[in-house]
A and B are shown apart, each in its own frame.
Chain A
Amino acid sequence: MNIWNTIVDWFRDRSERSRVISSFNESARQAYMSGDAPVMLKAKISRGDPNYAHEFSARWSGSGFRVMVFTGGQLSRAELEFMGNVILADEKLVRRLIVLGWDTLEIHGSEGVYGLKWRLTDFTTKINLINGF
């Protein structure tokens, strides 16, 4: 029975991770269309940084939350850094990302393969397995 629960939970987590990515992309699209955001962003799951792994890391299905500047123009490094920090300032969001298996936030510009990355667990109080916080 427990094995069955584990399988069900695994599929539920995968589904929730996909929902988060879709939600991000839809919000980014709306923000771009309404003119609130100067560029359109697109999120996808990446490998992540194994050095940033934590208790909940999804080691086999990608633990990186990669945000890419999709279209609309270039962003400077300072702007990418500011955007990353605005996302990380939302502690509830960071907690949700952590328990869904992400450990790395990556922000990439539209050109090249270089970007910025943060260890998610640095931006929330430590989650312990006894009471959750």
Chain B
Amino acid sequence: MEQIADTAAVVQQNITDNVEATTLWSVWSIVAISVTLFAVLALVLYIFRDKKKRRVKDKIMNETADVGFNTLNEWKKAERLYNELKRICHPDLFHDERNEIANEIFQRLTENKYRYQELLKIRDEAIEKLGIKVTDNKY
């Protein structure tokens, strides 16, 4: 009778151990599956975002394919031209009907201070409308 009781206890113990092991395995498998899902989700989001970035990048690269560094030839000329124009086109120098035109030209001059091609257009307009003379012909 005592042997039967011992056998039953051993069987009971084995069953308990197995249940604990199964529970532990379940917990770890859930953790592993969660981590895997998270990694897959992160990868999908990264790839999706990277695709969008790539699309925007390609679009801008195509649209700006013709840019160069012409400004390097122009920055000193722009500085000289701007400094001269701001001096000779100043509205305070014009006390007649040209004052309004000088105001408008001076405003555009300030807005396009760093754009040499625009400064050239403003210079031509100022010569025509204000009757100024630009001293340095090399501009």
In the bound complex, residues from chain B placing their C-beta under 8 Å from that of A24 are 69, 72
Task: Determine the main DSSP class of A at the interface with B.
Answer: helix
Write the B35-61 contact mask toward A (1 if CB under 8 angstroms, else 0).
000000000000101101111110111
For A85, give the chain B residue with the smallest CB separation.
B114
| Interface bracket on A | 35 or more
Size of the chain B interface, CB-CB below 8 angstroms = 31
Write the B88-114 contact mask toward A (1 if CB under 8 angstroms, else 0).
000000000000000000000000011
Q: Is the CB of B78 within 8 A of A86?
A: yes
Is B6's beta carbon under 8 Å from chain A? no
Q: Is the CB of A95 within 8 A of B64?
A: yes
Across the interface, B47 reaches (CB within 8 A) one of A2, A38, A99, namely A2
A85 to B53, CA, bound (A): 28
B115 → chain A closest CB, angstroms: 5
Q: Is the CB of A31 within 8 A of B79?
A: no
Known: A127-B56, A132-B60. 14 other contacts (CB 8 A): A23-B68, A24-B72, A27-B70, A28-B72, A36-B72, A79-B79, A93-B67, A95-B63, A95-B64, A96-B61, A99-B56, A99-B57, A99-B60, A132-B56
Is A7's beta carbon under 8 Å from chain B? no
B40 → chain A closest CB, angstroms: 14
For A90, give the chain B residue with the smallest CB separation.
B71
A74 → chain B closest CB, angstroms: 14
Q: Is the CB of A9 within 8 A of B114?
A: no
Q: Is the CB of B116 within 8 A of A86?
A: yes
Q: Is the CB of A34 within 8 A of B71?
A: no
A83 to B75, CA, bound (A): 6
- For chain A residues 58-76, which have a beta carbon within 8 Å of chain B? none
Is B77's beta carbon under 8 Å from chain A? yes
State the A residues within 8 Å of B (CB).
Answer: 2, 6, 9, 16, 23-24, 27-28, 30-31, 34, 36-38, 41, 55-56, 79, 82-83, 85-90, 92-93, 95-96, 98-99, 127-132
Known contacts A55-B53, A132-B56; is-contact A92 B63 (Cβ 8 Å): yes
In the bound complex, residues from chain A placing their C-beta under 8 Å from that of B63 are 92, 95
A95 to B65, CA, bound (A): 11
In the bound complex, residues from chain B placing their C-beta under 8 Å from that of A30 are 73
Q: Is the CB of A92 within 8 A of B67?
A: yes
Q: Is the CB of B53 within 8 A of A86?
A: no
20 residue pairs bridging A and B, Cβ less than 8 Å apart = A6-B50, A9-B54, A16-B61, A24-B69, A27-B69, A28-B69, A55-B53, A85-B114, A86-B71, A86-B79, A86-B116, A87-B75, A89-B114, A92-B63, A92-B64, A95-B63, A96-B60, A99-B57, A128-B56, A132-B59
